[in-house]
Structure formats: structure tokens, C-alpha cells
Structure 1
Amino acid sequence: MDWISEELGLTTDTQTKIIGTLIVLGVAVLVRIVVARTIQRNLDDTGAMYRTGKLVTYVTSIFALIGLAWVWIDAFDNLGTYLAVVSAGLAIALADVLKNIAGWAYIVLRRPFRVGDRIEIDGSRGDVIDVRLFRFTIAEIGNWVDADQSTGRLIHVPNGVLFASQVANYTEGFEFVWHEVPVLITFESDWRLAEQRLVAIAHSQAPDIEARAGARIRETARSYHMKLDVLRPAVYLTVKESGVLLTARFLAEPRSRRLVEEKIWRSVLEMIETEPAIELAYPTIRGFLRGPLPIGSGSDT
């Protein structure tokens, strides 16, 4: 190793530490590969495979850092001074990186969302499909696509965004969202009958959802002060310029809103076909004339 010292100017101690570093990194990578292959052979559930793989990555990374620290720590005479200088430099030069790491720690410890949750953050909506040290990834929904359908795009969001933006979680805790379907009928329609039929239609889409939602609220109340007295479907009436607006309000699972709305509209259209007293309204203009309408201003010849 003398020629290495002469050619590269590295001391024997430094060479030993470099070799130790390569050994630590090599062992960490080897363990990660072996465990990953073992997981693939023994687990069929893709969700469990993903979570286990992530856990192995975190554990091997931590042990690798500990091993590197053990290799290099005695190279510095004054560890306290060194750490202070390095920490100050890193805080300035790697502010965004450290913020992303802090965001990752926040995700892991506080759980504002988990892999599989549907969230909205910083104007983007989608399902969380991956969480890493510096960023998380969501499969986008909405945008130019109607309702909550997938666009096919993946959005990578830096973890540090969590400290500057609010996060809306569709599936955490309560696991249901309120959805509304507005139905506009003419003034001449029997709005009382339409209201009764619309309530029945909304209830028929998920007759057991009130009990399921009530059970979820009782479980969520352990962590959040959540209280919802009315869980059953309801219809609210409003008068608009073009007719009477009946708005059906009901609970739905976040990923089923479009499907439920389609079923309700199909039932509404079928109901209107069989009920002559109910008609859908649309914007119209009505004109009224007072007195006779003059046909012409010329005289007979």
C-alpha cells in the first residue's frame, strides 16, 4: 500500500478507512438484495411486499450510516467542534434537503397519510403510491379528467412541501366523504313528489352506509373530535331562476363518487320517464306581450 500513499498522497490510516467504507456499503447492498429476493419468493401480497421492502431499506440504511460513523469517527481529534462546523454548513447548503428529510420523518412518525391514501396537496390530487426519504409520489386524479378518475400521470412531491401546504386526506379516519347531486326541475313539476323519490334513490345506492359510517365515527373519535349527527341521505330545496333545485346530499366512499353519481342520475332519468308530473328544467327565456301585435304600418291600396 506504499505506492498508493506515494501516488495518491493517502496515509495508511485513510486507506484503511476507505476500505472499511467500501466493505460497509458492500455488505449493506448485499443484505438488501438478498432480503429483497427472499421477500419476492415468500410474499404474494404486493402491498405487504412493498411495505416490507421499504422497512428493509430503512433498516439497512441506518446500519450502514452507523457503520460509516464507526469507521470514520476517530479520524477527528475534536468531534464536538467538527460536528458543529459540519452541522452549520449543512444547514445552510442543504436547507431544502434537510427540510425534505424532516418531512419524511413527519410522514413516518405523525402519519398525515399512508401509502394507499387519497390526498390533495398543493393543488394536486391523487393516491399515494410511494414514500421516500426526499419525496413522495401520487397517482394523479382529476385535472383535465372529469370527476376523480385517474389521469395516468405520476406526481413527485418533495416532502418539505408538507410544512408549507395543507394536506386534505380523503380516506383517513372517517373514510367517507359527502357528495351532492343537484337536480333542477320545472316550476310546474310536483316538487314534493320529486323530493320523496330523490331521497329514496339516494338511500337505495348504499342502504347500509349510515351504519358503516357511524361505526367509523366511533373509531375515529378516539383520535379526533368528530361529531356528525345526521348521516342519512337528505335532499335540500332551493329556488333558482329556471326552476326548483333539489340537491341530494349523501355519503360515499372517496373512490366511488363518480360511480354512485352515475347510478343516481340513471335512476332519476328512469323516474322522470314514469312520472309525468316531474320534468327536468333548463335555462329558458320567456317573453310577454301587452296589447295586439302590429302586423304592418302601410295602408291598403
Structure 2
Amino acid sequence: MIEDLKKWFVDHPTSTNIIKYLVWIVLVFVFITWIRRILKKKLPNNNIKYKSQKGVEVIGYVFVILITVSYFTGSIKDLGLAIGFLTAGITITLQEIILSIAGSFYIFLVKVYKPGDRIEINGIKGDVIDIDSIYTTMMEIGEWVSSDNYSGRIVKLSNAFVFKGAVYNYSRDFPFVWDEFNLPIRYGSDIELAKSIVISVAQKNLAKYVQESMAEWKNVVKEYYIEDAQVDPTLAITMTDNWVQLNLRYIVDYKKRRFTKNILHEEIGKMIEETKGAVVLASATFEIVKIPTVNLQDRNGTDKDLN
């Protein structure tokens, strides 16, 4: 039987080469999987562990390409020519995959985003939890839930989207965002007291974010052509038909928008109640100034006024 098997290999050189090629490919993937498991167990830092595993994966792809070229061209010297013919043949049918792979290299080299960043891409917002050679995986936020809460859906997006539109990164260079809310105060209230309440609560709860964001913003100014920004809480007043509107604008950690807004509302509301009516929140109400007179006539032609 062994002699028959040897004879078959001799009589079928093409099949033999294909089998050898497949064996080498399987060995490469087995070796890569083994190395990744060792790195996962031995490396303590999640960031280093993740990057090391991805690096080993890329090296594995390079070996697969080299083995493929050497088997199907006969010489590794023909690598450039072989890749040229190969690319020309599959570009049309695999253009999305090729663009995705190119996008993965672009993401890592240019550092568009990394695992742990909060981004918005192709209209989808979420936290990046994985980046492989083809897909970016995100934990979605928003959609049917309010504010920046997780929806519970895990979304996979092609890496090709980094070439097709804007990528909004909430955390890469400046992990803070500006937020604001409006506070309607009834006419006749002590506006100065209302202003002092809002500013004092804002300064008390936002001092940490202001200090941290000032340091981060200095790095942004050094890196990009941009002017200095106002990071202290600011208050603007608008006179409307129904109330005096106080607009508070402030800076906050991008992951703590909802929590911070809730704290501000609670404390401002309590302090307004403690003013014993000196400051009153306004609401949309309608005042009827005068009821119009309706003139009716009975059958005899006599006028009757209805008030």
C-alpha cells in the first residue's frame, strides 16, 4: 500500500504540490493559534495582549502569502509579478474585502481609533471592542435608548468605511465633550439669584472635568492648528415670550454626560426649592385675557349676548 501511495504521488505531481501546500497552510494556522493562546495566558496587560495577538495574526497572513507564491510560481523571486497578476484577477470580485484589509492597516498605522475608543462611523455610534483584518466590532449606544447608554447590540462594520466617510472619535485626542441644557425661569423671579445657583452648582460638580480638560486641550493645541477653547462653565440668558431662559454650557467626560446632567438637575432643583418662591421654574401656560362676546338672535329677532 505504501508503494502504491508513493507511485501515486510520483504520477500526480500537481496533486502532490497542492496537498503539500494545504499541509503547510494548516501548519501555519495551527502554529499561529498556538502562539496566540500562549500570549493570551502569559501577557498580563490587556492592551499589549490584544496588540500582540493581532501582530501574530498579520505575520501569519504574510507567511500564507509567501507560501502561496512559492508554490504556484516556483520561485519567491517572482513575488512582485505574482502579486500583480493575482491582484488584477481578483480585484473586481474581492474589492470590498481588499478595501477592508487595507482599512485595517490604515486604522492601526494612522491610529484612527483603537479598542476602547467611542466612535461614530457610518451613522452608528458605539464603543470599539475589537478590530480584526476585515471588521470593526462595536457595542452600540443610542438608537432606542436615550443618551449614551448601551443598546445591547453588537455591531460589525467593514473596515472599508474608514475610506468612505467621516469617523467621529470621542476619546482619542480629547476625551471630553461640551454639553448644555436650558432652564426656564418665570418672569418676576430673582434672576440674579437663579444665575448664582446655576453657576455655583456647575462649578462645584464640574471643577474636576475643567482641570483635566485644560491639560488635555493644551495637547490638542500643540498637535493641531486650533485656538484655545473656553472650558469653564458658561451661562447665557435669553428673553422669550414666556420665560427667561438660562442656558448652561459646560465640559464633561464623554462617558459621563448623562450622569453629570442628572446631578446638575437634581442639585439646581433642590436649591431653587430652598428659595421659597424667590426663583420659580416656568412652564408652558396660556393666560386667557378676555372671553369674547357671542351675539345670538332668537326666533323673534331679539339679540342675546353670551359671555
Instruction: Tell me whether the two structures share a fold, i.e. TM-score over 0.5.
Output: yes
Deviation digits for residues 211-259 of structure 1 (CA, Å, limit 9, x no counterpart): 2212112222332223233211111111233211111111101100000
Query: Which range moves more in the overlay, 132-141 or 253-262?
Result: 132-141
* Distance in 2, Cα, partners of 1:220 & 1:187: 42
Where in structure 2 are there 5+ consecutive unaligned residues? 1-5, 296-302
Partner of 1:283: 284
Partner of 2:30: 30
Partner of 1:113: 113
Partner of 2:137: 137
For 2:201, what is the secondary structure of its paired residue?
A: helix
Partner of 2:251: 251
Partner of 2:8: 3
**Equivalent AA in structure 2 for residue 283 of structure 1:** A
Deviation digits for residues 94-151 of structure 1 (CA, Å, limit 9, x no counterpart): 2222221222122111121111110111211100111111121111001110100000
- Counting only pairs closer than 5 Å after superposition, residues 6-21 of structure 1 correspond to structure 2 as 11-12=12-13, 14-21=14-21
Query: Which range moves more in the overlay, 192-201 or 74-83?
Result: 74-83
**Equivalent AA in structure 2 for residue 277 of structure 1:** A
**Is 1:28–1:61's contact at 8 Å kept on the other side of the alignment?**
no
* Distance in 1, Cα, partners of 2:244 & 2:188: 9
* Distance in 1, Cα, partners of 2:80 & 2:139: 45
Q: C-alpha displacement at 1:47, in angstroms?
A: 3.9
The alpha-carbon distance between structure 1 residues 86 and 71, as it changes in their structure 2 partners (threshold 3 A), is closer
Q: Segments of 4+ in structure 1 off by > 6 A?
A: 75-81, 290-294
Q: C-alpha displacement at 1:48, in angstroms?
A: 3.6
**Is 1:217–1:226's contact at 8 Å kept on the other side of the alignment?**
no
Partner of 2:90: 90
Q: C-alpha displacement at 1:71, in angstroms?
A: 3.0
**Equivalent AA in structure 2 for residue 120 of structure 1:** E
TM-score (normalised: structure 1): 0.87
Partner of 1:73: 73
Q: Kindly, what percent of the aligned residue pairs are identical?
A: 26
**Equivalent AA in structure 1 for residue 289 of structure 2:** F
**Equivalent AA in structure 1 for residue 278 of structure 2:** A
Where in structure 1 are there 5+ consecutive unaligned residues? none
Partner of 2:214: 214
**Is 2:69–2:82's contact at 8 Å kept on the other side of the alignment?**
no
**Is 1:181–1:247's contact at 8 Å kept on the other side of the alignment?**
yes
**Is 1:100–1:133's contact at 8 Å kept on the other side of the alignment?**
yes
The size of the alignment, in residue pairs, is 292
**Equivalent AA in structure 1 for residue 185 of structure 2:** I
Q: C-alpha displacement at 1:209, in angstroms?
A: 2.4
